[in-house]
Amino acid sequence: MIQIRLLVYAFVVLLFPRSCERNTSETNAPGNTAGLTLPAGFSATIFADNLGSGRHIIVRNNGDVYLALRALKNGKGIVALRDKNSDGKADSIVYFANTPTTGIDIGGNYLYFSNFTEVYRVPFTQNKLVPSETPVIIAGGFPQQSQHNDKTFALDESGNLYVNVGAPSNSCTDPDRTPGTPGLDPCPQLEWHAGIWRFRSDLPGQDQKADGHRYASGIRNSVAIAWNTLNNKLYVVQHGRDQLAQLYPAMYSEQEGAELPAEEFFAVEDGDFFGWPYCYYDLTRKIKLLAPEYGGNKYAVDRCADAKNPIMAFPGHLAPNDLLFYTGNMFPEKYKNGAFIAFHGSWNRAPLPQEGYYVAFISFENGLPSGNMEIFANGFAGVDVITSPNNARYRPMGLGQGPDGSLYISDSEKGRVWNVTYKK
């Protein structure tokens, strides 16, 4: 009898500290990073997990978190998260909205969200987690398209809505992505695609063709789009074109195909043209070059001399999928008003290893980058070398700022949400 008791005791002693450790490592122990690599002083918790195919994320000023889901889960396209007992983990998780969503934002007392052809808004109902009214279409009539179909958007503080309409092709050839096919010139896709369209943010029932103002053009796809309230300007980060080496193997090596073209960070003004599909940006030579579909030879500039340059450029194919200007007070001074970018990670660097899969930070001064890009949060993929995107366990997708100044990061693969905090 005593022996059995001793055995049980030994068993409990052996087992329990370990299960305790495992518990705390998954929750709120100070200095814990929940599997991420972060700068000194930063911690992370898993705020919620397994939510679905996460896209953009937004936090209300009461701390409620809303995550867009690109594919319906339980028939719903948004998941609302509330941490009722303030332990850093969502304990109220409610799915709502009958459409898959990609973009999500808050303006005034309204939640704005978009699917692939419309932007909706719905008012919050007091302090309720889920809005009880029926969402209305603010802007619609966007083209159905099979690629670059996220209608991500930004809101300014003067009642305007800016919607990204991606290009329906790689580089405006017909057929698309086929070796030896010249680019259509002029590219007819620029009429209703590959740019930013502006609408009123408070007027229901607007249509892209009837009511939209083409604010900027020649942008292939800018899933990452944000309004900078400090200087009242729109910023986007573009997904550069794919497959230079596969489509033009005699002109570009595999290495060049992986590094070119750069992903470009744009400060956007009304009427700007950034060059797609005629031009791409060469990161090493720091210049816009003529695309091979339009007679480019890796050196010719031609009409690209007139395309507006980026304020910063990044290595090819990193897939910038969200942009956030940090206005909080929790993080150290250097982060104030700087830009966080979620790089979803490449697929188009094969056969070389894939890159990205991290959240980067860039300090800002007077509306322009004032330092190099630094990797802020890494380790999402869970492997050192990513040969194909499916090796990556998690992929950073959306960024949101909490009322306390903490940063929320969403994942597209399993629907994990991290909350990143800082303590001196």
The residues binding another protein (CB under 8 A) are: 70, 146-147, 149, 175-180, 242-243, 246, 347-348, 350-351, 387-391, 412-413
Nearer to another protein, 64 or 242 (CB): 242
Q: Least distance from C-beta 350 to another protein, angstroms?
A: 6
Q: Least distance from C-beta 382 to another protein, angstroms?
A: 15
- 351 HSE (CA, 13 A, CB side): 3
What does the buried/exposed string (b/e) look like for 284-302 if buried means 16 or more CB atoms within 10 Å of the residue's CB?
Answer: eeeebbbbbbbebeeeeeb
Do 187 and 291 contact (CB within 8 A), yes or no? no
Pairing mode, strands 272-273 and 213-217: parallel
What does the buried/exposed string (b/e) look like for 75-93 if buried means 16 or more CB atoms within 10 Å of the residue's CB?
Answer: ebbbbbbbbeeeebbbeeb
Nearer to another protein, 135 or 398 (CB): 398
Nearer to another protein, 389 or 402 (CB): 389
Q: Least distance from C-beta 349 to another protein, angstroms?
A: 9
Q: Least distance from C-beta 55 to another protein, angstroms?
A: 11
Do 41 and 28 contact (CB within 8 A), yes or no? no
Q: Least distance from C-beta 146 to another protein, angstroms?
A: 5
Q: Least distance from C-beta 348 to another protein, angstroms?
A: 6
Nearer to another protein, 116 or 273 (CB): 116
For 375, the enclosing helix (H) or strand (E) is strand 374-377
Nearer to another protein, 51 or 226 (CB): 51
Q: How far apart are CA 267 and CA 274, in angstroms?
A: 10
Nearer to another protein, 26 or 176 (CB): 176
Do 43 and 421 contact (CB within 8 A), yes or no? yes
Nearer to another protein, 51 or 339 (CB): 51
Q: Least distance from C-beta 102 to another protein, angstroms?
A: 11
Strands (E), 34-114: 42-48, 54-59, 65-73, 76-82, 92-96, 103-107, 110-114
Q: How far apart are CA 277 and CA 190, in angstroms?
A: 9
